[in-house]
């Protein structure tokens, strides 16, 4: 008998995916304390990024879901309340503290990888500095990268110019021996992990098999549906092969099923999901316009965003200005379950003005009076996050699709 693979329509796939990413309902809620910690737990993590033309990525990600949120709330969860810790997923991220035991697998793997990789490049010799860095922090207290390697030549370039003690500091963080106790500006301040992580999480241990199971299960629950490669990439901790083996095992035991997910172009992509996903009830999404971060969890996987939403996006920070299609750092704009365009804007903080240079609607998006009004309203709401009081539109800001 031929087995029928159920098809998840594109519309339902979008709605399920956005529900999982907390973008289905109006962004109401306190945006602080335990409520904010719950948002981050539901998302899994929030990527940290330093670009601040309007607001940093992590702040905009949280504001898009809780518009009462302000940056101090995240700082409090990390450095005061210890409800979060900072480490690595696919990039630097803030992560619920209860997940810390699951990160030991990453600490161990990162140590081996960095010892092998960094020993071969211009950062060779860093391992000899680790004991001295640990002793300095143990004796003198927390520090930043500028405080270590006082007798070493300091350079101002990128990672390739790290002096050995700076490299040792990063190694000790990636391998879990140091933790970020707080940030000053955007500079990481490190301390011994045992002085940062609460003991109930510091002293909890999970074996490798259980950690792999947790990472795969937690990724699928947050994505709704995914390929084994997407499961692997979510936390960027388990390997593609481990995720593939996990999917095969879960499939054989009936805990997940295969489905075909329809893209915007009608093509089908074989994916995995919980058996109950196809019967999940999804309502029409809130029609309000939302401003999103380029690093929003719903858009981080650019290929998936293009398949599900028909939205092609790339960061043009490193593209020469004359060759940019849109701008240095443009923000995706969503309306309901549809990405309707992208906006180029920058906060003039001394003048307390949010300057909008351009908005490019997506192909087929008609910018009528109602939609323009909703876009204006969202930009005005965003002023509070960007330390602005009013929005100013440059002549010719509304571009053609």
SS3 51: coil
Q: How far apart are CA 329 and CA 331, in angstroms?
A: 7
In the chain, which residues have pLDDT < 70? 1-2, 121-124, 149-162
The tally of CA atoms less than 13 A away on the side-chain side of residue 125 is 9
The tally of CA atoms less than 13 A away on the side-chain side of residue 116 is 5
Q: What is the pLDDT of residue 185?
A: 86
**Which domains does the chain show, CATH number per domain?**
122-197 (1.10.10.10), 290-393 (3.40.630)
Q: Quick one: which of 30, 32, 28, 27 has its CA closest to 72?
A: 32
Two structure tokens written together for 297: 């969890």
Q: What is the pLDDT of residue 88?
A: 96
Q: Is the pTM of the predicted complex or chain greater than 0.85?
A: yes
Q: What is the pLDDT of residue 128?
A: 85
The H or E element containing residue 17 is helix 10-20
Q: Which residue has the tokens 């020993």?
A: 119
Question: Contact at 8 Å (CB) between 356 and 344?
Answer: yes
Q: pLDDT tens-digit profile of 15-74?
A: 999 999 999 998 989 999 999 999 999 999 999 999 999 999 999 999 999 999 999 999
Residue 113: how many other CB atoms lie within 10 Å:
12
SS3 334: strand
Two structure tokens written together for 40: 């981050």
Which ranges constitute the DSSP H helices of 141-239? 164-174, 199-202, 208-223, 228-235
Q: What is the pLDDT of residue 160?
A: 47
Q: What is the pLDDT of residue 159?
A: 44
Query: Phi and psi dihedrals of 91, rounded to 5?
Result: -160, 180
Q: How far apart are CA 62 and CA 42, in angstroms?
A: 12
Query: Phi and psi dihedrals of 169, rounded to 5?
Result: -60, -45
Two structure tokens written together for 85: 């810790």
Q: How far apart are CA 168 and CA 185, in angstroms?
A: 22
Alpha carbon 252 to its chain's center: 32
Q: How far apart are CA 354 and CA 256, in angstroms?
A: 47
Report the chain's terminal Cα–Cα distance, integer Å: 49
Question: Contact at 8 Å (CB) between 332 and 338?
Answer: no
Q: How far apart are CA 191 and CA 179, in angstroms?
A: 6
The tally of CA atoms less than 13 A away on the side-chain side of residue 146 is 5
What one-character DSSP code corresponds to residue 2? P
């Amino acid at each position: 008998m031929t087995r029928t693979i159920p098809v998840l329509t594109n519309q339902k796939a979008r709605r399920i995916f956005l529900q999982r990413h907390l973008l289905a309902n109006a962004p109401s809620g306190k945006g602080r304390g335990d409520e904010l910690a719950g948002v981050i737990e539901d998302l899994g993590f929030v990527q940290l990024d330093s670009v601040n033309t309007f607001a940093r990525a992590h702040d905009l990600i949280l504001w898009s879901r809780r518009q009462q949120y302000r940056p101090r709330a995240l700082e409090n969860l990390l450095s005061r309340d210890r409800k979060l810790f900072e480490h690595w997923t696919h990039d630097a991220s803030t992560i619920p503290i209860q997940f810390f035991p699951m990160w030991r697998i990453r600490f161990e793997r990162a140590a081996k990888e960095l010892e092998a990789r960094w020993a071969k490049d211009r950062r060779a010799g860093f391992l000899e500095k680790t004991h001295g860095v640990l002793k300095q922090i143990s004796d003198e207290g927390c520090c930043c990268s500028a405080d270590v390697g006082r007798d070493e030549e300091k350079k101002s370039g990128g990672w390739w110019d790290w002096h050995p003690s700076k490299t040792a500091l990063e190694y000790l963080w990636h391998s879990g021996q140091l933790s970020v106790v707080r940030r000053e500006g955007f500079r990481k301040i490190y301390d011994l992990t045992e002085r940062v992580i609460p003991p109930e999480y510091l002293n909890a241990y999970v074996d490798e098999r259980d950690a792999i199971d947790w990472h795969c299960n937690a990724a699928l629950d947050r994505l709704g549906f995914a390929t084994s490669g997407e499961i692997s990439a979510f936390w960027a901790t388990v390997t593609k092969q481990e995720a593939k083996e996990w999917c095969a095992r879960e499939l054989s035991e009936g805990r997940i099923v295969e489905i075909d997910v329809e893209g915007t172009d009608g093509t089908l992509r074989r994916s995995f999901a919980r058996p109950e996903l196809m019967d999940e009830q999804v309502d029409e999404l809130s029609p309000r316009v939302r401003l999103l971060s380029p690093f929003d969890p719903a858009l981080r996987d650019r290929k998936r965003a293009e398949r599900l939403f028909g939205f092609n996006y790339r960061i043009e920070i490193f593209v020469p200005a004359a060759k940019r299609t849109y701008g240095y750092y443009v923000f995706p704009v969503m309306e309901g379950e549809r990405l309707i365009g992208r906006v180029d804007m920058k906060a003039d903080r001394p003048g307390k003005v949010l300057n909008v240079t351009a908005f490019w609607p997506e192909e087929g998006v008609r910018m009528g009076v109602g939609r323009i009004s909703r876009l204006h309203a969202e930009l005005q709401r965003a002023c509070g996050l960007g330390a602005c009081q009013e929005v100013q539109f440059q002549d010719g800001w509304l571009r053609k699709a």
